[in-house]
Amino acid sequence: MAGVAESGVVDAVAARLPRLVTDDEICLVHDRALLDQVVAVDADGGGRLDPDTVMSAGSLLAARLAAGSVLTAVEGLQESEQYRSAFCVVRPPGHHATPTDSMGFCLFNSVAIAAATLTDAGERVAIVDIDAHHGNGTQDIFYNDPRVLFASIHQSPLYPGTGMLDERGSGVAVGTTINVPLPPGATGDIARAAVDDIIIPAIEAHRASWLLISAGFDGHRADPITELGYSSADMADLVGALAATVAPGRVITVLEGGYDLDAVRDSSAAVTAQLVGERIRPEPPTSGGPGIEVVRAARDLHRNP
């Protein structure tokens, strides 16, 4: 929120408090057993869901509000043509939560819940995940669903160890999952090449009516638990290029990971400005890192399946 305040465009931002996600909405993408486990741990005052994911007494409320925030954004954009996009500043993140398991700091998959709500209403959805970690939960949820295009640019090797080039969807949905696993040190120009050469053409071919961006800011070079080389300017450039692929008022950016607070603040400022059509760059974009051969391999795979 400090980044939003420092974006220079606060006069163009309308803040909304999120509603709570309902149990039925959660169960659009998660098994009831997952919800029951999270509720049971909350009833005990908190506890561990997996080796990485610990609930405090406030975690269930926060997770319900995080998922509800993305739905609030969908509803707000549908209700008014005044707004061109939304930025959901939420925690916990969601993209590791699978149909059956909460994991990787994620309780519920907020982006997936919104995507399922939209597809059930007849929309075609593209989800692009720029978090440094692969969004394995989102991929699992939509791996067999041709209505949802899922594309991820992430570091590999890195937790959770998924997101290889050959993970492309299943059955009638082959080709609607795109993974670009970049090596440590990859810079913003490499990620931008993946967006320009692979992901934007895929979004256009998918005829997406809504775009949901899982905007983890842990790809920033200052992040303490990852090894990518992006800057806050790169985050904004990626979001800006992606946002242009669908109509105004149909773009939602959702905060996922990010563990250096200064990097999260600066990236939030740059992305907020970008979403309202302004250019704020707290630091320059980056270039010259490794990984272009991965982008070329992914491009060739998806052009010649």
Catalytic residues: 96
Q: How many angstroms separate the first and last alpha carbons of the chain?
A: 43
Helix (H) / strand (E) element for 23: namely helix 23-26
Distance CA 155, CA 103 (A): 18
Which pair of tokens denotes residue 4? Answer: 């939003």
Distance CA 267, CA 273 (A): 10
> Are residues 154 and 182 in contact, defined by beta-carbon separation less than 8 angstroms?
yes
> Are residues 133 and 106 in contact, defined by beta-carbon separation less than 8 angstroms?
no
Sign of dihedral through CA atoms 3, 4, 10, 12?
positive
Partners of 181 in beta bridges: 154
